[in-house]
Amino acid sequence: MTDIKRRKFLKTAGTGGLAVAAAGIAAPAIAQSAPEIKWRLASSFPKSLDTLWGGAETFSKAVAEMTDNKFQIQNFAAGELVPALQVADAVTNNTVEVGHTAAYYYWGKDPTFSFGASVPFGLNFRMQSAWMYQLGGIELMNEFYKKFKIYALPGGNTGTQMGGWFRKEINTVDDLKGVKMRISGFAGAVIAKLGVVPQQIAGGDIYPSLEKGTIDAAEWVGPYDDEKLGFAKVAKFYYYPGWWEGQTQLSLYFNLDKFEALPKSYQAVVKAAAHTANEWVMSKYDVLNPQALRKLVAGGTQLRGFSEAIMDASYAAALEVYTEISAKNADFKKVYESMKAARGEGYLWQQVAEASYDRYMMGLQSKGKI
């Protein structure tokens, strides 16, 4: 190579030639790290329940915004792609890549699912978050979900739910005997020990069942959603608390193979977006429930608290069911022991500062001083 040709080569390599080389290497690398992806999400909730449905919308919007719309997830309400209570199957079978659902709907597959949503006399929202994010709850549940080809993240929370709508007053444990009640999964197994006849019915079917007298009572979520569904028109007595749902976590279920195939950056986006949805749903309910409760009471709804005797009997029944299932289901026992430890520590702390502060402030509120 002559000196002239050598100088020309070096000049080209140092400018345009190097740029071409960089483009040839960097462009595919960038494309691989931020590919265009389109997924579908099946929800267990109708669009009319805008806070539950809104959790999925918040999640998908956040994913799109954090990826400059390169990762898009299209949401479908309950029944549009799959029935409300078959979302987990749709994710397992890769009919959809994502599901937004409540884990205890799949109690029939394995009672261990329930810990991904709520269990009787379990955790409150704060404790559930601590267990999930800090004490290994997410990892423990995903170890279990592997057998169903699911990877799961928290995707919303209702907080403590109401005890439900009853056609008649429930003053004693005996008053529960023979009551046909819409109540899901684990809670149904517990309350059955008190003589209740549990019925698992999707949200959209509860009102007509109450109206026709097919059921005598029903629990759903809380004032905002319950008022929307019109339960006050067909049942007068509204009980609290929902001891079977000290909190209820919604879950984002991902097909495990699809999630693991995502670039690491997109996996991080999914986790961040799920966390955003988790906080959005809970904070939204805390704004909407007080307004709805006032409206219900003004319309004639009779608020009733479950008696201490009913709560005690329910707790004893729950312990029986925990013992029975733990004796024959190793997965259930493992997760239960972890949850129970988190509950013990959580209430040890919360009773000291938070509960005492709340009791005082609630006393002021009830006296009209705040």
In a domain, 213, yes or no: yes
CATH label of the domain that carries residue 330: 3.40.190.10
Question: What percentage of residues in the chain have a pLDDT greater than 90?
Answer: 88
Query: What are the distances in angstroms from CA 225 to CA 105, 166, 170, 231?
Result: 18, 16, 23, 10
In a domain, 129, yes or no: yes
Domain co-membership, 207 together with 302: yes
CATH label of the domain that carries residue 120: 3.40.190.170
Helices (H), 100-246: 125-134, 137-145, 185-191, 206-212, 223-229
Model confidence pLDDT, tens digit, residues 97-146: 999 999 999 999 999 999 999 999 999 999 999 999 999 999 999 999 99
Domain co-membership, 257 together with 317: no
Domain co-membership, 123 together with 265: yes
Q: CA 199 to CA 184: how far, in whole Å?
A: 7
Domain co-membership, 105 together with 55: yes
Model confidence pLDDT, tens digit, residues 16-44: 333 333 334 444 444 567 899 999 999 99
Range of the domain at 191: 164-246+289-334
Domain co-membership, 233 together with 274: no
Domain co-membership, 185 together with 119: no
Domain co-membership, 62 together with 78: yes
Domain co-membership, 42 together with 189: no
359 by DSSP, 3-state: which?
helix
In a domain, 173, yes or no: yes
Domain co-membership, 176 together with 315: yes
Domain co-membership, 294 together with 191: yes
pTM listed for this prediction: 0.89
Domain co-membership, 221 together with 299: yes
* 115, 335 Cβ separation under 8 angstroms: yes
Contacting residues for 83 by C-beta, under 8 A, at least 6 apart: 202
- Both tokens of residue 63? 């994913």
In a domain, 365, yes or no: no
Domain co-membership, 211 together with 72: no
Give residue 15's Cα distance to chain centre: 55
Domain boundary among 229, 261, 286: 286
Provide the 10 A C-beta neighbour count for residue 241. 14
Query: What are the distances in angstroms from CA 13 to CA 1, 5, 9, 20, 21?
Result: 15, 12, 6, 9, 9
In a domain, 97, yes or no: yes
Q: CA 280 to CA 313: how far, in whole Å?
A: 35
In a domain, 319, yes or no: yes
Q: Is the pLDDT of residue 167 over 90?
A: yes
In a domain, 363, yes or no: no
- Tally of domains within the chain: 2
Using the structure block, give the residue that is written with the tokens 């004893």: 316
Model confidence pLDDT, tens digit, residues 220-235: 999 999 999 999 999 9
In a domain, 143, yes or no: yes
Q: CA 221 to CA 27: how far, in whole Å?
A: 49
Distance between the two ends of the chain, CA-based, in angstroms? 89
Residue 32's pLDDT is: 60
